[in-house]
């Protein structure tokens, strides 16, 4: 301990002398007691002064080598001693949405490489610098920047944060301090300054940002979809994956749309321009010619892109086309005797195939579009909870692409999302309620979630919801996909939920990592004893994803487990499952 001096302490000469006499005589327990006592009396005084004020401070760090983290933790300790409620977190672990709820923010952040943010600050940095960054009028902040003057971009990340927080409306609590490699002294000064300001200004109460949102005048629905702005669109599959799964975040701000976990989102896609152009080209039509759809006129190309279904063949469509073709082969295919052959033909083919496979077309653009069905919305299980992401909705979209009949075929909506939907674009959406896929009313009820592939989407919403309401029930997730390294959808989020206990248990099966393919049902069997115990405790089981194989296999496995562990016949096991269904303890969202 350095001796107290008049120059570096707030004490007068006499006090300094007394302190210097007293201090060396104290043992560490006495010192600790004293610091606690002083802090406590200090905070009692503060509390009395501003009885209704909260004293919450959030300290976020972005750290590459650990220095910023250590400093942030020290800052947190000091503030705690002064009676503040402090949250210290890495920028990576901090949910950006929380920004709306906090009023005092301290950043301790270093700069890495050529002026880049440290790894664990990157996503927060990008969020704040993106269009999604919220207004921060309610926020006061101060930045401690760590750096190294031997680098060109000294303390750049800290400077960027400082500037950006101000741009977003934040008030600077205390001027930013930039530190060189020997940061200790300057950091201490900064903390002192911050503390001084906090004392002076008093901690302010949370500015309620419920700025009485203007009620939307339109009720959005399938008929009147809401034009949701795309906030984020990322591929969840790592490099080298066979798959592409898009995680899409949409803004619902101002829509008045609400939903619950388990509901689905209806999305209106646009057709592939390449496909549209190929049809127009084939028929040698003018793409700009006006056609009328539901008494509204628009150019042919536009209508085909966004109003009409061109990838699904139906019986009605083929019959409608019959009038316009003189091709005997086509008429032969349409005869009632050829039903089987016709069904086979329709599988995996689209309108362009019909136009190419058959000839002698005598069809105007208007006749063509009048024969086509209106473009239908696609439905996706919602992957977010409004409690965790107010004013947002997230979906998980697996891009469908396959080779058939000599051409690469693409799922309309999924590849539209994957290839042509950009941040800032507007996507027409509406909410589709699904009352048959809902969390138990009793938050203590254990839940078992089985969702391989994109089937995992609603369970992300479940976890967000259970975390937000502090549900006490146990939870267990079975997930599977092809490869661990590239296809573990939302991996880091499950890991966080496992760590903080929101998710009790997780089992994964990656089918192509081992010689023998492993699927979720195999993991269920491995755990059959415990799974049955959960069922006996009243757990609710949810299955989401592929209907054809997965849901069937999981269903059979469930019956098998109940029969084996419950020592009952398969008939009784089936009755057991039927009973669960009746009690809404076995719900499925399969497609």
Partner 1 sequence: MEKFVLTPPDGPPSDVERIKRESNYLRGTLKETMEDRITAGIPEDDNRLMKFHGSYLQDDRDLRAERQKQKLEPAYQFMIRVRTPGGVATPEQWLAMDELARTYANGTLKLTTRQAFQFHGVLKWNMKKTLQAINEALLTTLAACGDVNRNVMCNPNPYQSEVHAEVYEWAKKLSDYLLPQTRAYYEIWLDEEKVAGTPEVEQEPIYGPLYLPRKFKIGIAVPPSNDVDVFSQDLGFIAIVEHGKLTGFNVAIGGGMGMTHGDRTTYPQLAKVIGFCKPEQVIDVAEKIVTIQRDYGNRSVRKHARFKYTIDRLGLDAVKTELERRLGWNLEEARPYYFEHNGDRYGWVEGVNGTWHFTLFVEGGRVKDTDDYPLMTGLREIAKVHTGDFRLTANQNLVIANVPSEKKEEIDTLIKQYKLTDGKHYSALRRNSLACVALPTCGLAMAEAERYLPTLIDKIEEIVEENGLRDEEITIRMTGCPNGCARHVLGEIAFIGKSVGKYNMYLGAAFDGSRLGKLYRENIGEKEILSELRTLLSRYAKERLRGERFGDFVIRAGVVKETTDGMNFHD
The annotated binding site is made up of 63-68, 110-113, 146-155, 311, 378-381, 396-398, 402, 411-414, 511-512, 517-521, 553, 591
Q: State which residue, 121 or 313, has the beta carbon closest to partner 1.
A: 121
Nearest-approach distance from CB 513 to partner 1, in angstroms = 7
Q: State which residue, 232 or 302, has the beta carbon closest to partner 1.
A: 232
- Rounded to 5 degrees, what are φ and ψ at 343? -60, -45
Q: How do strand 140-146 and strand 104-110 relate by DSSP bridges? A: parallel
For position 578 contacting partner 1 by CB under 8 A, the verdict is: no
DSSP 484: H
Q: State which residue, 11 or 151, has the beta carbon closest to partner 1.
A: 151
For position 73 contacting partner 1 by CB under 8 A, the verdict is: no
Nearest-approach distance from CB 587 to partner 1, in angstroms = 25
CB under 8 Å to 339, separation ≥6 — which residues?
none
Q: Which of 207, 506, 568, 590 contacts partner 1 by CB under 8 A? A: 506
* Cβ 207 vs Cβ 238: under 8 Å: no
Rounded CA-CA distance 493/491 in Å is 5
Rounded CA-CA distance 400/286 in Å is 30
For position 154 contacting partner 1 by CB under 8 A, the verdict is: no
Q: State which residue, 114 or 362, has the beta carbon closest to partner 1.
A: 114
| Segment contacting partner 1 by CB under 8 A, of 171-179, 214-222, 280-288, 500-508 | 500-508
For position 112 contacting partner 1 by CB under 8 A, the verdict is: yes
Q: Which residues are annotated as a binding site for FMN?
A: 63-68, 110-113, 146-155
For position 475 contacting partner 1 by CB under 8 A, the verdict is: no
Site for partner 1 in 155-214 (CB under 8 A): 181
What is the helix (H) or strand (E) element at residue 269, kind and residue range? none
Structure tokens at 10: 């707030």
Rounded CA-CA distance 59/129 in Å is 19
Q: Which of 150, 208, 210, 336 contacts partner 1 by CB under 8 A? A: 150
Q: Which residues pair with 407 in a beta bridge?
A: 404
Q: State which residue, 130 or 335, has the beta carbon closest to partner 1.
A: 130
Q: Order of strands, edge to edge, in the sheet holding 426-432?
A: 378-381, 264-267, 426-432, 226-235, 245-251, 392-398
CB under 8 Å to 287, separation ≥6 — which residues?
277, 280, 299, 300, 301
Q: State which residue, 350 or 392, has the beta carbon closest to partner 1.
A: 392
Strand blocks (E) in 411-469: 426-432, 447-450
* Cβ 155 vs Cβ 109: under 8 Å: no
Q: Using the structure block, give the residue that is written with the tokens 């419950």.
A: 566
For position 543 contacting partner 1 by CB under 8 A, the verdict is: no
Q: Which of 43, 311, 443, 491 contacts partner 1 by CB under 8 A? A: 491
Site string for partner 1, 550-569 (x = CB under 8 A): --------------------
Q: State which residue, 148 or 553, has the beta carbon closest to partner 1.
A: 148
For position 489 contacting partner 1 by CB under 8 A, the verdict is: yes
| Count, residues near partner 1 per rule CB under 8 A | 35
Q: Which of 123, 205, 511, 528 contacts partner 1 by CB under 8 A? A: 123
Q: State which residue, 192 or 493, has the beta carbon closest to partner 1.
A: 493
CB under 8 Å to 146, separation ≥6 — which residues?
67, 68, 71, 108, 109, 110, 111, 155, 158, 179, 183
CA distances from 566 to 301, 522, 551, 554, 561 (A): 61, 18, 22, 17, 8
For position 290 contacting partner 1 by CB under 8 A, the verdict is: no
Nearest-approach distance from CB 233 to partner 1, in angstroms = 11
Continuous H helices in 57-170: 67-81, 122-128, 156-167
Structure tokens at 68: 């910023």
Q: Which of 6, 40, 44, 234 contacts partner 1 by CB under 8 A? A: 234
Nearest-approach distance from CB 239 to partner 1, in angstroms = 7
For position 94 contacting partner 1 by CB under 8 A, the verdict is: no
Q: State which residue, 17 or 93, has the beta carbon closest to partner 1.
A: 93
Structure tokens at 276: 């549209």
- Rounded to 5 degrees, what are φ and ψ at 436? -95, 15
For position 238 contacting partner 1 by CB under 8 A, the verdict is: yes
| Segment contacting partner 1 by CB under 8 A, of 143-151, 161-169, 409-417, 533-541 | 143-151
For position 119 contacting partner 1 by CB under 8 A, the verdict is: yes
* Cβ 442 vs Cβ 469: under 8 Å: no
For position 96 contacting partner 1 by CB under 8 A, the verdict is: no
Nearest-approach distance from CB 530 to partner 1, in angstroms = 16
By CB under 8 A, name the binding residues for partner 1. 92, 112-114, 119, 122-123, 148, 150-152, 181, 234-239, 247, 484-486, 488-495, 498, 506-508, 513
């Amino acid at each position: 301990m350095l001796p107290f001096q008049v120059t570096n302490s707030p004490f007068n000469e006499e006090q300094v002398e007394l302190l210097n006499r007293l201090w060396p005589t104290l043992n560490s327990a006495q010192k600790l007691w004293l610091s606690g006592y002083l802090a406590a009396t200090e905070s009692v005084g503060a509390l009395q002064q501003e009885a209704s004020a909260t004293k919450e401070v959030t300290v976020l760090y972005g750290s590459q080598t650990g220095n910023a983290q250590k400093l942030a933790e020290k800052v947190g300790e000091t503030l705690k001693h002064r009676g503040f409620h402090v949250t210290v977190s890495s920028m990576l672990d901090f949910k950006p949405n929380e920004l709306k709820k906090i009023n005092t923010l301290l950043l301790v952040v270093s700069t890495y490489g050529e002026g880049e943010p440290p790894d664990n600050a990157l996503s927060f940095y990008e969020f704040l610098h993106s269009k999604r960054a919220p207004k921060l009028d309610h926020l006061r902040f101060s930045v401690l920047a760590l750096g190294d003057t031997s680098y060109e971009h000294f303390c750049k990340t800290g400077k960027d944060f400082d500037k950006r927080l101000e741009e977003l409306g934040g008030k600077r609590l205390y001027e930013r301090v930039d530190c060189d490699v020997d940061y200790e002294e300057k950091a201490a000064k900064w903390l002192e300054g911050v503390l001084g300001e906090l004392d002076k200004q008093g901690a302010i109460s949370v500015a309620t940002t419920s700025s009485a949102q203007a009620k939307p005048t339109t009720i959005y629905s399938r008929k009147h979809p809401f034009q949701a702005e795309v906030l984020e669109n990322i591929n969840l599959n790592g490099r080298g994956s066979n798959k592409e799964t898009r995680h899409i975040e949409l803004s619902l701000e101002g829509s008045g749309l609400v939903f619950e976990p388990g509901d689905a989102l209806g999305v209106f896609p646009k057709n592939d321009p390449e496909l549209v152009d190929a049809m127009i080209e084939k028929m040698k039509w003018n793409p700009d010619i006006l056609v009328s759809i539901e008494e509204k006129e628009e150019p042919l190309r536009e209508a085909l892109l966004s109003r009409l279904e061109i990838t699904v063949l139906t019986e009605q469509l083929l019959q409608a086309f019959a009038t316009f073709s003189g091709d005997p082969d086509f008429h032969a295919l349409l005869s009632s005797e050829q039903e089987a052959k016709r069904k086979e033909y329709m599988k995996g083919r689209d309108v362009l195939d019909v136009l190419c496979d058959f000839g002698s077309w005598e069809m105007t653009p208007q006749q063509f579009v009048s024969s086509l069905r209106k473009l239908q919305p696609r439905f996706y299980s919602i992957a977010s909870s409004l409690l965790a992401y107010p004013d947002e909705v997230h979906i998980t979209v697996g891009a469908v692409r396959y080779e058939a009949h000599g051409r690469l075929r693409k799922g309309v909506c999924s590849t539209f999302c994957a290839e042509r939907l950009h941040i800032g674009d507007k996507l027409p959406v509406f909410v589709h309620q699904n009352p048959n896929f809902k969390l138990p009313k009793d938050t203590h009820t254990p839940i078992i979630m089985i969702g391989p592939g994109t089937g995992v989407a609603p369970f992300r919403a479940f976890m967000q919801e259970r975390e937000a309401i502090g549900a006490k029930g146990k939870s267990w997730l079975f997930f599977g996909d092809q490869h661990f390294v590239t296809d573990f959808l939302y991996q880091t989020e499950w890991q966080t939920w496992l760590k903080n206990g929101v998710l009790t248990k997780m089992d994964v099966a990656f089918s192509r990592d081992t010689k023998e393919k492993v699927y979720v049902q195999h993991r269920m069997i491995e755990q059959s004893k415990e799974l049955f115990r959960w069922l006996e405790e009243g757990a609710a089981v949810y299955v989401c994803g592929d209907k054809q194989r997965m849901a069937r296999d999981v269903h059979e496995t469930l019956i098998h487990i109940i029969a084996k562990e419950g020592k009952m016949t398969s008939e009784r096991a089936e009755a057991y499952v039927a009973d669960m269904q009746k009690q809404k303890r076995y719900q499925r969202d399969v497609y």
